[in-house]
Structure 1
């Protein structure tokens, strides 16, 4: 049997962020070629911006893991392969925004290459 526990902390109201604002903020970040700098300089000063940043961080984590795995296997994906992979993953989302989806797929090869470049630079610094 499970125990009922009573917390003395106030119950937080569920967040109702503006989905359009979240998508708009995420698209603005995705449109940047240097997404790492854009994320670093991004001011997440609203709930919508925090959610957009969380989405972008998830996307970039996926890109990093993909690039790291590809490098271990001696692969460098073509733009079409990257877009295909990202579009398949994105189709699994419960709620989709067409503009966000288009930007995500369009910019994914640029982000893939940027992550790869960063990993090469890190590896080169370790060798020095």
Structure 2
């Protein structure tokens, strides 16, 4: 079938990949931004915890990081946020601990699988795309002129 099984024993994560790029999910912009924010929060929280503890963030942490990155003036609407969270839950990157995502204190577990979904080299590429997005879609060659 063309699938490859990748096992990361260090993090206890198994990933099924397709080198031919079939059956890929194309994320919406906010889903990608949220995934990147969750990876940043994962790294920050992981440094504070022992390796056996789960990484738990709250919705307020996500909103704060989103606004601090200055991607937009205000946070994305609740429906878009909820849909993006549901997508990441479906791919087993996160788990929602509280029933309501409208509360700032609602908790979300970030699984170690985020390390396979967003690798270090992906973070750099995403950061470059975010910079282009913040400049209004112009690439660096256009802005240098």
**Higher strand content, 1 or 2:** 2
**Higher helix content, 1 or 2:** 1
Q: Which has the larger radius of gyration?
A: 1
TM over 0.5: no
Larger RCO of the pair (alpha carbons < 8 Å, separation 6+): 1
Q: What TM-score results when the alignment is normalised by the length of structure 1?
A: 0.36
Q: What TM-score results when the alignment is normalised by the length of structure 2?
A: 0.33
